[in-house]
Structure 1
Amino acid sequence: MYKGGQQPTIKGAQPKKEADVVVLQGPYPYRLSFYDRPPLYDVTIEDFETFALDRLRILAEIEASYARNRSWDELRTVTEAQCKKYDLWLSSNTARSQFIDLERKKDHLSHFVLRLAFCRSEELRRRFVKAETTLFRVRYEKDDTKELTQFLSSQDFGWEKVDPPEKATYESELRALLPNVGDKEFKDIVFYKVKWTRVPDLVAKRRVFLRRGQAFVPTTLQASIVFHAFETQLEKALERTAKGLPRLDEDTRIVPILNNLSQGFLAGVPSEWTNATPTMDGELRAEMVDGLAKKHFPMCMRNLHESLMRDHHLKHFGRLQYGLFLKVLGLSIEEAVAFWRKSFSSITDDKFNKEYKYNIRHSYGLEGKRANYPAKSCQQILLSDQPGPSDCHGCPYRHFAPDNLQTSLLTYYSNQGLTSSNLPEIMKTVKEGHYHVACTRVFEITHTSKGVEKGQGIGSGESVTHPNQYAARSRELEKPQEGGTSSDTAMVVG
């Protein structure tokens, strides 16, 4: 189905004509799509992966919005912002853009790649269908009215328009569905008949008139038929895809990508913050770390820091997780050696140089294969190197016992505004497995004094996906209040 190779040249949108409805020629005539035709062209492995990751970031934010009980207006605003950020906010046919076909090609391909990744289990299919249907609904509500009508006309929804005599026969029943509509408006409203199983949500809410297995649906509720059709069609498509998936098992290029996509979605954190540039103004010094930890670190790094200060030691995976975080934060190799040497105060210089200094230099790409290792993302922390009973690394929201997590939250963040009244909300999201949502909510609570409101996340409603992203945004919010000198420099590693 997908093969690596040279990507074909995609023609731009056809010239626009002055008309009430503009219908583009080619494979993507409409902004909306039911994705009923798979991509049959060659694509590069790079596009195969990057297009899917961009779409996955949007779907993950939709899931996070549900977990945070955002209103529909808030969810729609966040989704629109994410679509624009990742170039999946599709232009209408009347837009003066020469990249309409390219936009829609990315949308088309990314959907089918994720369909391959998420057809593997019932849970993945359920979550994918819910997120994709939500994305479709957001686009549906923002689509141009005339273009939307043209799109609906191109689909077969199995509905039958109610003729005037039949409408008159059941006028009293149909009027009861629209109690606030006047006589003139009622005459203009069109009703459609569909099998009642096509609109289960409307039946449950008693918003349709039922007769002989048919539901009479007013135009104002027509979208419910469309959304249910999209959802049902996608569910069936995923089941068909799952049956054909074993054919890909021997493809060593594609299977690892699909595994990574599905694992990230299960963890709830598919996106990775990849800004590897130092986030400090100037070089971060060893003596500044303690002050930064108490003000700007997410709980995973705060826990590692406090354990290091208490025990004067961290095990291998703890040192790796914390050391790479500090590296990206801006700690140079010289300052890193100084920081770790002072932190490991209970051992001799000879033991430190023999057993630990090499690993520090290795993480900076100065020893071994000299690779420039990035800091671990939330996805990596959640899924790899699971901590044992005496380990300090990992994600506290996932790996701590509930009582220990609540105690630690109050210990670390009570001086930043977090109180026991906040814990039920945080623990609810933890229990549901939305660990990055819990971390994001802690960020909001502890940065209320900096102007961060509930639902805002780290900016534009976005959730935390990387410890360094958390620290960078926290530091950024404080900058306007710092004036000339930051108070962080006054704190010294104990």
Structure 2
Amino acid sequence: MFRAAAPPVAHRPEHGKGAQVAHHPTRASAPGAYPFRLNMYSVPPVQDITVDDFESWALDRLRVLAEIETASARNQPWSEIKAAIERRSNEYLVLRSNAVAQSGAVATAAAKAKELQRERAKDHVSHFVLRLAFSRTEELRRRFVHAETALFRYRLETEHLAEREAFLRAQDFVWRAVPPEEQRRHREQLLAVHPRLATTFDSESFLQVPWHRVPDLVERRRVLVLRGTAWIPTKEQSSLILAEFHARLQAQLESTARALPRLDEDDRLLPVLEHLSMGSMVGATNDYTNAALVGVDGESVHITADMVAPLVRQHAPLCMRHLHETLSTSHHLRHYGRLQYNLFLKELGLPVEEALLFWRRMFSTMTDDKFNKEHRYNIRHGYGLEGRRLNYPAKSCARIITQDPPGPQDTHGCPFRHFSPQNLSTALSTYYHVAPDEQAEILQAAKAGHYHVACTRLFEITHAKQGVARGDGLGQGESVAHPNRYMEASWRLAQQPAEAAPQAMDER
């Protein structure tokens, strides 16, 4: 197990046990330890969990946070972000309120309570695991705080009123109520900010809080700022709660970052945390496992060497399109470029015999003897037919972005991550004929580090004629997380009848 104290720090595992997250010494873990669905995450959890749960729970939460970040990066309205959170939460991070869980037969009350506690334990533990992964850099901390605050806001807004009020009463919020005489003394100033309260002013109440705790309300001029404090109507309490959550989490992450060096003594946790932080760059995803394109008859398409070029030029993402065009013009790819492209074609469904034929044709400037000595083995090795005979998966976006960064002469990697803005713009124009005004959003997303958002937007722009609108992604809002998934989605759109694809050109 590993033991994390406040601030959460991991220590060397003990043999034969799971993972344990320790908490504040005055709090004890017990049945019913999570009375509320909402959680300010002020106290780290304490329970034994397996290493598998340690990672799988965090990955499930990461999928929800990745959906939030993607929707925010694409400037979707809060209503759409809420829908995305609800969809992903129902799939990966179910967290029911007491009112919902207690409905039903009395005979199952104990079982429901146990399941409710497990849901909340998963939520609690996964939050603290991701704290460890996301506290490593200032950028990761900023992204984590933003996504977690949005998730908390969704839960706060969708919680039952009685449950929410009970949760708030249990918190130690340091807010000062404005005395009625002070409120009357500043009536004119308060009504200047809140004119709609003119008829109900005497029955309204206000809370006093340091102005820097509610910057969103100050920015929108929704509060009276007086002597360094913001006077907030009780009705605006949600903004105050969110600001408190944001401020606390930011401070706790900074505390965790200072404690991270002590994790070095645990050689089991570091790979897990590295994997989680890597996945955060493009959203959590599993490796693509659908190994072939499917035709309209539902059968897998038999791909030949002759089909590779037209398929890639019509359906492939920019990373694979760039590799193919470089191979076509120079008749050569360096090692990591060959590896990345070979596994992509393998996952696409190109048989090994056709792969050997394809690569031999592309390496047209070398002799058969040189090809057989230097490349035949590696191509077969990628198919699991040589060496250790492992079935290597095609590289996901996370692996392409974070592993084996390209050097000056390399062509592998992710163009949205590794190209300069000028080279990226040229590639978008040359390969996809994307107009300059449509490139702006893609370039901005890439510059901000939202590489999957940039790639997803490219998919939407280049498939608008097939009915793909802004926000649709690869389908139902899915973002690009794997080159083969991009390819499969593009291929699937091409198979649908022309009359079944509504035009969405005006939404590009």
- TM-score (normalizing by structure 1): 0.86
Partner of 1:269: 282
- Residue number in structure 1 paired with 2:337: 318
1:360 corresponds to 2:379: yes
Cα distance in 2 for residues equivalent to 1:119 and 1:322: 34
CA separation of 1:273 and 1:198: change in aligned 2, threshold 3 A: same
The structural deviation recorded for 1:31 is: 1.3
Percent identity over paired residues: 51
Mapped contact 1:261–1:270 kept (Cα < 8 A) = no
In the alignment, is residue 172 of structure 1 matched against residue 188 of structure 2?
yes
Q: Secondary structure at the match of 1:438?
A: helix
2:269 aligns with 254
Q: 1:199 to 1:431 in 2, by over 3 A?
A: closer
Range with greater deviation from structure 2 (344-353 or 217-226): 344-353
Name the SS for the 2:388 alignment partner: coil
- 1:216 maps to a residue whose letter is W
Aligned counterparts of 1:119 and 1:407: Cα–Cα separation in 2: 36
Alignment of 1:87-106 (within 5 A): 87-96=92-101, 98=112, 99-106=115-122
- Taking the aligned partners of 2:413 and 2:212, their CA distance within structure 1 comes to 46
Match of 2:58 among 38, 52, 59: 52
Matches within 5 A, 1:456-475: 456-475=472-491
Q: Which amino acid aligns with 2:349?
A: G
Following superposition, the deviation at residue 34 of structure 1 comes to: 0.5
Counterpart code for 2:136: R
CA-to-aligned-CA distance 1:216-265 (integer Å, 9 cap, x gap): 21122111211111112112222322333232211110012112323443
4+ long deviations beyond 6 Å? none
Matched, 1:231 2:246: yes
CA shift at 1:7, angstroms?
6.2
Q: Are the structure 2 counterparts of residues 247 and 388 from structure 1 closer, same or farther at C-alpha, using a change threshold of 3 Å?
A: closer
Bigger CA drift: 95-104 or 372-381? 95-104
Give 2:323's match in structure 1, choosing from 277, 295, 304.
304
Distance in 1 (CA, whole Å) between partners of 2:259 and 2:418 is 36
Task: Indicate the residue corresponding to 1:14 in structure 2.
Answer: none
- The answer for the alignment partner of 2:24 in structure 1 is none
Contact preservation (8 Å) 1:125, 1:235 = yes
Is the partner of 2:373 in helix, strand or coil?
A: helix
Q: Which amino acid aligns with 1:231?
A: H
Amino acid at match of 2:459: F
CA contact (8 A) 1:321 1:375 kept: yes
Report the counterpart of residue 195 of structure 1 in structure 2: 210
Could you tell me how far 1:170 is from its partner in structure 2? 3.4
Contact preservation (8 Å) 1:157, 1:225: no
**Separation (CA, whole Å) in 2 of partners of 1:408 and 1:194:** 51
Aligned to 1:26: 32
The equivalent of 1:447 in structure 2 is 463
Are residues 217 and 482 of structure 1, via their aligned partners in 2, closer, same or farther at CA, if it must alter by over 3 Å?
closer
User: What is the distance in 2 between the residues matched to 1:122 and 1:342?
Assistant: 48
Give 1:181 deviation, angstroms: 4.2
CA RMSD of aligned residues (A): 2.5
- Check 1:306–1:211 CA distance in 2 against 1; reply closer, same or farther (3 A cut): closer
- C-alpha deviation, 1:212, in angstroms: 4.5
The alpha carbon displacement at 1:463 in A equals 1.8
Q: Distance in 2 between matches of 1:210 and 1:403?
A: 46
Asked if structure 2 preserves the Cα contact closer than 8 Å seen for 1:80 and 1:89, the reply is no
Deviation by residue 1:52-86 (Cα, 9 ceiling, x = unmatched): 1222232233333333222222333223322233x
Distance change (3 Å), C-alpha of 1:478 and 1:6: farther
**CA distance 1:367–1:111, shift in 2 (3 Å):** same
Higher relative contact order (CA 8 A, sep 6+): 1
Q: Deviations over 1:451-477 (max 9, x none)?
A: 211122223323211111111111222
Q: Secondary structure at the match of 2:49?
A: coil
What is the alpha-carbon distance in structure 2 between the residues aligned to residue 194 and residue 313 of structure 1?
Answer: 65
Distance in 1 (CA, whole Å) between partners of 2:316 and 2:416 is: 14
Secondary structure at 2:309 match in 1: helix
DSSP 3-state at the match of 1:95: helix
Q: Is the 8 A contact 1:81 1:460 kept in 2?
A: no
Secondary structure (helix, strand or coil) at the match of 2:291 reads coil
1:386 aligned to 2:405?
Answer: yes
TM-score by length of 2: 0.84
| Cα separation, partners in 2 of 1:295 and 1:188, compared to 1, 3 Å | farther
- Structure 2 gaps, min length 5: 5-12, 20-29, 103-111, 295-299, 500-508
Counterpart for residue 347 of structure 1: 366
Q: Structure 1 pair 306/197, CA: closer, same or farther in 2 (3 Å)? A: closer
Query: Given the alignment, which residue of 292, 297, 321 partners 1:279?
Result: 292
Change (3 A) 1:278 1:481: farther
Amino acid at match of 2:465: S
**Which one-letter code corresponds to 1:271 in the other structure?**
A
Aligned to 2:312: 293
Shift of 1:113: 0.5
- Which of 367, 374, 394 is the aligned partner of 2:393? 374
Q: Which moved more, 1:305-314 or 1:110-119?
A: 305-314
* CA offsets 1:80-99 (integer angstroms, 9 cap, x no match): 322233x2142121224833
- Counterpart CA distance in 1 for 2:95 and 2:446 is 34
Residue 275 of structure 1 aligns with an amino acid whose one-letter code is: Y
Find the aligned partners of 2:262 and 2:405 in 1 and give their Cα distance: 32
Displacement of 1:104 in angstroms is 1.5
